[in-house]
Amino acid sequence: MTSLRLRTATATDADEIQAIYAPMVEHTAISFEVDPPSVSEMAARIEATLADYPYLMAERHGRIAGYAYASQHRTRAAYSLSVDVTVYIADEVRRSGVGRALYTALLADLQERGFHAAFAGIALPNESSVGLHESVGFTALGIYREVGRKFGHWHDVGWWQRLL
């Protein structure tokens, strides 16, 4: 993996981050959003996330190759040391180690901040995402059957956990 640079995302990265995310919304059930967020909405999401959680991006040859971030797991106070994690990788660099590099850094950051458990929801089937999560230590917990409806079909979501 040549010239991969990881850094904290900023609102100025929103255009490239949105360009990676929008096709996932528009063409897949990987994201359960129906309409892609605008660049300004993505910038606001990045800033809101950074108030409490890490939001990292991978840069290769001056372009964003992927991003990963953490978010609140649930609203009740007892959940405050658990987080949900998300990663998205640009099509042209999938299966090249970008996702693993991002998650390795994100999980280390979360551990340093004192978080205890990370959870990932994966729309199924998605062998690549399952493989990535399991390669960085996540274990399967269970499946929410037919929990989301997109493109006229019901979709399952599997849940994975990693203790930090």
CATH 3.40.630.30 describes domain 4-118: yes
Q: What share of the chain in percent tops pLDDT 70?
A: 99
Quick one: 104 exposed, middle or buried, by C-beta within 10 A (0-12, 13-18, 19+)?
Answer: middle
Tokens of 116: 């205890």
- Buried b / exposed e across 38-65, counting CB within 10 Å, b at 16+? ebeebbebbeebeeebbbbbbbbeeebb
Tokens of 127: 């062998």
Half-sphere exposure (Cβ direction) of 122: Cα atoms closer than 13 Å:
24
pLDDT 10s digits, 93-134:
888 899 999 999 999 999 999 999 999 999 999 999 999 999
Look up residue 112 and give its amino acid: E
Give me the residue spans of the domains in the chain: 4-118
pLDDT 10s digits, 14-38:
999 999 999 999 999 999 999 999 9
Report pLDDT for 62: 86
Report pLDDT for 2: 60
**CA gap 109, 124 in Å, rounded:** 28
Confidence of residue 1 (pLDDT cuts 50, 70, 90): very low
- Helices (H) and strands (E) counted in the chain, each on its own, are 4, 7
Beta bridge partners of 60: 4, 63
**56 within 8 A of 69, measured Cβ to Cβ:** yes
**CA gap 105, 94 in Å, rounded:** 17
pLDDT 10s digits, 141-152:
999 999 999 999
Tokens of 38: 């605008």
Report pLDDT for 96: 85
pLDDT 10s digits, 33-46:
999 999 999 999 99
pLDDT 10s digits, 54-89:
999 999 988 999 999 999 999 999 999 999 999 999
